[in-house]
Every structure is written in C-alpha cells, then in structure tokens.
Structure 1
Amino acid sequence: MQWKNITDLEEIGQIQQQEGYSLIFKHSTRCSVSLMAKKRFERDWAVIPENTALYFLDLISYRDISAQIAETFQVYHESPQILLIKNGDCILDASHSEISADEVAEMINS
C-alpha cells in the first residue's frame, strides 16, 4: 500500500465524491508525536483492505488544504489525525494515540 499526497484543494472534492473507503492521514512534519503515530499506523496497515485509497497530507506545507478537510468533513482539526471517509462522509476521525489501523480495518470490515 502506498500514500497518495494531497497537494491541491480540488483533491478534497474528488475524495468526497469517491465511492467506497478513503483514508486521510494529516501529518505535521514538525511534530515527533505525529511521526510516531504515522510510523505505528504504517507498521500495522497491512490489516486495511487493499481497495482503500490512502491519502497523506503534510499539513505544515498545505495548511489551507487541512482547513478545507476540516470544513468539508465537519471535523475539528487535529494533528496527527486520520479521517476514514465512506462514500463522501467521514465515519471515523481519530488523533494522536487514538490512531489505529486495526480500528480503521474494523470499521471497513463491519
């Protein structure tokens, strides 16, 4: 599995229009907690179904996109943060130590 970097505001609308599951990982490149959460998530992401689109946002470089994600999916901005999107709706958002590949997989497989 591989991340697709979000670098354009238009991509948020595209993610919202996708059918199925998409996951957005919002990462602060200046934060050691964010780095640890990302590494832990990547270590365990084999449990996530292959057809899940994985998106990565460097929120330091793309603050405007981070703000748009929060507005579009009606979540409070946090960092690090994951959002699980199903058919355009955020069905799970988690931050810091609550970020779990197992929880994402459980939501997808239920």
Structure 2
Amino acid sequence: MATYTEITTLPEWENVLQKSKEKPVLLFKHSTTCPVSAAAYREFTSFESDVDAYLVKVIESRPVSNEIESNLGVQHQSPQIFILSNEEPIWHASHWNITETKIGQALQSI
C-alpha cells in the first residue's frame, strides 16, 4: 500500500499548498460512505510513487474539503483526485476515472 498523509485541518491543507510550490503533490478526496469512492481509494492506495500523497475524508473534514474546492476553483466531487503544482491543479479526475494507471500516466506527463 502506498503511504499518504491524512489532512484534517485547514493549516495542514495550507501546508500542502505550500509544498506544491516546491514539487508536485497528489491529493485524494474520499467519501467514506460511497462505494465508488471505496473503489477509487483502492486505486489511490495501490499506486506507488515518490510523490507526496495526501488524503481528505470529505465528510469527516468538511471544512477542509470546502476550502480545497474554494482554493482550487474545481467543483467538489467525491471521489476526486488532483495533482497540484504551484498551488494549482495541473490534473484532476473523479469517480471511475481514478485508476492506478491514469494516476501514473498523469504523473509521467508532468
């Protein structure tokens, strides 16, 4: 299983945005009650990479999820995954488009 850091607070989210100025980061927004999100979560956690990865549980950490939507200007969906660079989403996908293969392809293209 790939390692990731869970984000539960707004300062943690701000820290992730700052880190994206130094190098790209992977961010996964996960609904713990949705079967589609569970499938995407398995894809996300199966993906092995040196890229720093972060997880936000959208129900448990609603203020963080809302702030991500506001900061990135991308309408909330869950599940949803982003590659962030310089505080901007340079790639994102949702629902069944979140696969280990597509994550890898997106990271290779940056």
Alpha-carbon distance in 2 for matches of 1:96, 1:75? 14
- Matched residue, 1:105: 104
Alpha-carbon distance in 2 for matches of 1:93, 1:4? 19
- Give the percent of matched residue pairs that are identical in Structure 1 and Structure 2: 33
- Matched residue, 2:27: 24
- 1:87, distance to aligned residue in structure 2 (A): 2.4
Give unmatched runs, 5+ long, in structure 1: none
Alpha-carbon distance in 1 for matches of 2:79, 2:44? 11
- 1:104, distance to aligned residue in structure 2 (A): 2.6
Alpha-carbon distance in 1 for matches of 2:3, 2:60? 20
- Matched residue, 2:87: 88
Of residues 42, 45, 61, the one that matches 2:45 is: 42
Alpha-carbon distance in 1 for matches of 2:100, 2:108? 12
Q: TM-score, normalised by structure 1?
A: 0.87
- Matched residue, 2:70: 71
SS where residue 64 of structure 2 aligns?
helix
Matching residue's letter, 2:93: A
Give unmatched runs, 5+ long, in structure 2: none
Q: TM-score, normalised by structure 2?
A: 0.87
The aligned length equals: 106
Is contact 2:3-2:45 (8 Å) kept?
no
- Matched residue, 1:58: 57
- Runs of 4+ residues over 2 Å off in structure 1: 40-43, 100-110
